[in-house]
């Protein structure tokens, strides 16, 4: 994602690469990634050079960077998934000090999918059972994907209920619980990401699907979020808010 962000940055004349950060043991440290910008491993040094940060990292690295950013007043765009509930709660707390756009997926069309899934759940009602499946490359370390979980949240929002997730079925499971949202994760190959929300009724079903062929649309969306975030007050924002699909902060 860092490489794609750097490659696509030229499309945003209001943004300029000030620093690039990787883990301290990364083999490419010290290499020039843009004129006058070398890949570094010091988060404090990187934030000192930046007006805004975009973060795609593991949960521990993300939170360490966000704490420093909050101390220095640097707004952040965060695309990290696989966060525990306590880690998400800390991001909510840090957003009281700096503006943060936090999204499971920065693709514009995926965020339209969130919006459509919410509306479908609202319009179809609980009589249509909701199931989600997602497919990602073999190297993805978290499951289900953050995007799949966000689709489930959107469906629950459309129903006006808390998400009731079913992440595994095996043996004699009994009848399907009322309000359940099943989520199935598949892994293999080099697939950047595929998600389908199914609304299954009696004798019919509606399917909403998004398939990714590259990671560029994730990077483009993160850069759109960065442009939008500049000048915003402290708060936790999502990509739907950035795109004008939701009034939620």
Q: What pLDDT score was predicted for residue 206?
A: 98
Q: Which pTM was predicted? A: 0.78
Show which residues are catalytic: 136, 140
Quickly count: other Cβ atoms within 10 Å of residue 210's Cβ. Answer: 22
Quickly count: other Cβ atoms within 10 Å of residue 160's Cβ. Answer: 9
Sorting pLDDT into bands at 50, 70 and 90, what band is 135? very high
Q: What pLDDT score was predicted for residue 210?
A: 96
Residue 117 in contact with residue 197, Cβ under 8 Å? yes
Could you give the CA distance from residue 156 to residue 31 in angstroms, rounded to a whole number? Answer: 46
Rounded to a whole number, what is the distance in angstroms from the first to the last CA of the chain? 25
Domains of the chain by start residue, with CATH: 2-106+215-242 (3.40.50.720), 108-211 (3.30.360.10)
């Amino acid at each position: 994602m860092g490489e794609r962000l750097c490659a696509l940055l030229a499309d945003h004349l209001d943004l300029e690469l000030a620093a690039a950060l990787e883990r301290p043991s990364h083999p490419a440290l010290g290499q020039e990634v843009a004129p006058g910008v070398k890949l570094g491993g010091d988060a404090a040094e990187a934030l000192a050079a930046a007006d805004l940060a975009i973060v795609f990292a593991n949960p521990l690295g993300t939170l360490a960077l966000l704490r420093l950013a909050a101390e220095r007043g640097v707004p952040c765009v965060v695309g990290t998934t696989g966060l525990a509930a306590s880690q998400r709660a800390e991001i909510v707390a840090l957003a009281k000090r700096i503006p943060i756009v936090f999204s499971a997926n920065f693709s514009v069309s995926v965020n339209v999918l969130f919006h459509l899934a919410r509306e479908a759940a609202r319009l179809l009602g609980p009589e249509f059972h909701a199931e989600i499946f997602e497919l990602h490359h073999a190297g993805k370390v978290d499951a289900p994907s953050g995007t799949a979980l966000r689709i489930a949240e959107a469906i629950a929002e459309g129903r006006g209920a808390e998400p009731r997730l079913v992440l595994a079925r095996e043996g004699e499971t009994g009848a399907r619980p009322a309000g359940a949202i099943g989520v199935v994760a598949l892994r293999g190959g080099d697939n950047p990401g595929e998600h389908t929300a199914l609304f299954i009724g009696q004798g019919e079903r509606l399917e909403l699907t998004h398939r990714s062929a590259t990671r560029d649309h994730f990077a483009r969306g993160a850069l759109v979020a960065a442009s939008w975030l500049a000048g915003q007050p402290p708060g936790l924002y999502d990509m739907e808010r950035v795109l004008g699909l939701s009034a939620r902060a």
